[in-house]
Structure formats: C-alpha cells, structure tokens
A = this chain, B = another copy of it.
Amino acid sequence: MEEPRKRARPGRVPAPAGRTSRPRQAEVARLAGVSQATVSLVLGARKQGATISEETRRKVLDAVRALGYVPDPAASRLAAARNNLLGVFSFTSTFPTDVQHSYYPFLVGVEQEAAARGYDLVLFTGSSTGGAGAAGPNALARVRLADGCLFLGRHAPAEELRRLVADGFPVVHLGRRDELEGLAWVGADYISASQEVVAHLAALGHRRIVLVREDDDAPASTDREHGFLKGLEEAGLPGGPAAVFRSADPERELTAERLRGWLDEGVTAFVAEETDTGDAWRALHGAAHFVGIDCPRDASLALLGSPPPDLAEEPVPTGFDIPRPRLGAAAVRMLAALVSGEEAAEPLVACTFRPGSTAGPAPARY
C-alpha cells in the first residue's frame, strides 16, 4: 500500500492578515447556501445551458448585495472570459503638454462610443517619457489585459503590432495602415474629401489649381494628393507633376516669387494639405498675404483639413473637416466587431466639406 509520497502544501501564502479581503464568489456561495459555480452562473449572463430557479437566483443576489461582492476583472479575464475592457494605446505621450498635438479629439469619440456599447475603456500610456516597459519588446504586452486594443499614432511599431495580430488579439489602428497585413484600421476618407474640394474649385471656374504639400509619404499625405489629382482629372483640368508643389520646408521654399510665377502662369487656386505642423497652409497663407493677394477675389485658397489653431481666427479656410470624434467612434465600432468575432465594419469615415470664405469665383483673366 504505497501511498504517493506526501508533500507539503506549497503555493500561495494566506492573504495578509490586516487587509480585510473583499468577498469572493465562494463567500457569496456560502452565505447563499449554494456552490460557487451557481454564483458564477447567476452573475454571468450565461448564453445557454444551466437554468437557475428564481428562488436560488434571489438568494444569490441577496448574498451578493449583502457582502457587496464585486468580481475581479483579472480573474474574469484569465478564465478565458471577456472583461468588457477595450484598450487604447498611443505611442506618443497620451497627454502631451501641448493639447493641440494630442489625440484628444479622437478620444472624445472613443469614449462615447465605448460607453454606448457597454465597454469600459482602458488607456495605456505609451510612456514616450521613457518609463515602464516602454522601450522593450514588451511594450505592448499589457494591452492584453483588455479584450482588444485601439492604437493611435503613426509610430506604432510594426513588429509588435504584427505580433498581436498574429496572436489573434483584436487590434484596430486609427489611421490608415495598409502595409501591415491583416491589421484592421479606420481612417478618414481624404481622397474623396480632397476630390470634393477640387470639384468645388473647378465649379467656381478655376482652371489651374496647385497643391502645396510637405515632403512626407504618410498615407494621409499621399491620399490627399491622390484625391486632388483625381479631382483635377474629373474636372478635365491639367494634372501632372506641375500641379503639385512638394517641399520639405514650405515656409522657406514657397517664396513670393514662386507664387507670383504661378499666378502669371494662370493659376487661380491653391490648395494646401493639412499636416501636424500646419506648415503647408501657413506657408501658402503667408505667401499670399505677402504678395498682397486679395483672397478670394484675386485667387482662391483651400485647405485639405483643418487650420492650425494659431490660424483659426483668420477667415475660415475653404476645405474639409476631419470628424475626429466620429473617427474615434468608428474605430471603437470596428474593434467591438473584432472582439465579438463579427465581420469588420466600414474603415473609411467621410470628411465634411467646409465652405469657408477663402474660395470664390475664378477671377476673369484677360
């Protein structure tokens, strides 16, 4: 009769004495005179199977109230269930000192939509400040606490994201991100919006239009150019490289002479892309002012996006607005879809045309 060798009981040490530990399902069960499993069944919105009598349910719920039981989200998550938490991760500081550069407008929509769908939100700081597991390849590990995660910012490391995607972790990137196979994203439809702006200018009689853009290959930039050229084509206007002025430093390179040159060539409308810095618009705006253009009488200006805050007071530029809160909301919708295994939702969010006051009829040229 060889009993298996008895070993002592390792494992966790009992909870620190001083701390009144909050109740577990086990305590609730004891008070209600049922099993822990029954408590779980009563509390969980069980899809099928087990049926619980009204009587038992009541007893359990009474016990829950009496003890003030609240479930442990970590345990819920571990037990392979979901915990109704959606993560949000931004790689630059989530809360930069300068509000203008933040994702704040997006977060407004994200929060609302998440709340509306019954999700709680968990924000992970990218620790641009250099803390925590920021640097290491584990930077993204903690997002797995949530059921899925939304990523903000261009700097999301591809390798890490790929990893999450490969593991089947629901991930949505805010902003187009095509190069990463299988990565879901939500973005603004810059192409259509830019095209619409050009159409507007064409309808006003402008026959030669120039786009001022920075030297950047972000999708947001190329999309705008794409839409711009598409708009020209659609209107039967001359496109090609001559219609696009690309500069790494527009404020320096977009000189008065250059502007006058364009005007002399018959260009009557100018379009700038919106960027982080707003440099393209600032340069265009500045040069036009310097040259003494009476806008929109002498020439029309348009901005493919919203003006930088410091130029917000000026006459409202014709162009379009990026519905940031709605983008955030759309991203949450898609993430929710992924989490619940549904088919992905619409990734493109339409921008809204902004009439503004910087575009008018093309001046009659002699």
Contact = CB atoms under 8 A, between A and B. Distances in A.
Interface of A: 12, 16, 18-22, 68, 70-75, 77-80, 83-85, 93-97, 99, 104, 107-108, 110-112, 114-125, 127, 129-134, 137-138, 140-142, 144-145, 163, 166-168, 325
Contacts of A116: 129-131
A132 B84 contact: yes
**Would you call the interface of chain A mostly helix, strand, loop, or mixed?**
loop
A182 to B, nearest CB: 12
A191 to B, nearest CB: 28
Nearest to A129: B115
A115 B125 contact: yes
Contacts of A107: 94-95
Nearest to A127: B115
**This protein's copies in its complex:** 2
B20 A168 contact: yes
Contacts of A125: 111, 114-115, 120-121
A137 B70 CA distance: 9
A111 B133 contact: no
Contacts of A74: 73-75, 77-78, 83, 144-145
| A-B pairs, 10 with minimum CB distance | A115-B131, A19-B168, A70-B141, A123-B123, A115-B129, A74-B77, A121-B125, A22-B167, A95-B107, A115-B127
Nearest to A16: B168
Contact of A123 (B93, B99, B121): B121
Contacts of A117: 131
Contacts of A84: 132
17 contacts: A20-B167, A70-B140, A70-B144, A73-B144, A74-B74, A95-B111, A96-B108, A99-B99, A112-B129, A114-B132, A115-B132, A116-B130, A120-B127, A121-B123, A122-B122, A122-B124, A145-B145
Given A70-B141, A129-B111, A95 B85 contact: no
B168 A80 contact: no
A85 B22 contact: no
A75 B73 contact: no
A68 B160 CA distance: 10
Contacts of A114: 125, 131-132
A34 B345 CA distance: 45
Contact of A21 (B12, B167, B325): B167
Contacts of A19: 167-168
A108 B134 contact: no
Nearest to A141: B70
Contacts of A75: 74, 78
Given A71-B138, A94-B107, A96-B108, 8 more contacts: A74-B74, A74-B78, A83-B145, A95-B104, A114-B125, A118-B131, A122-B124, A122-B145
Given A78-B72, A121-B123, A144-B72, A134 B115 contact: yes
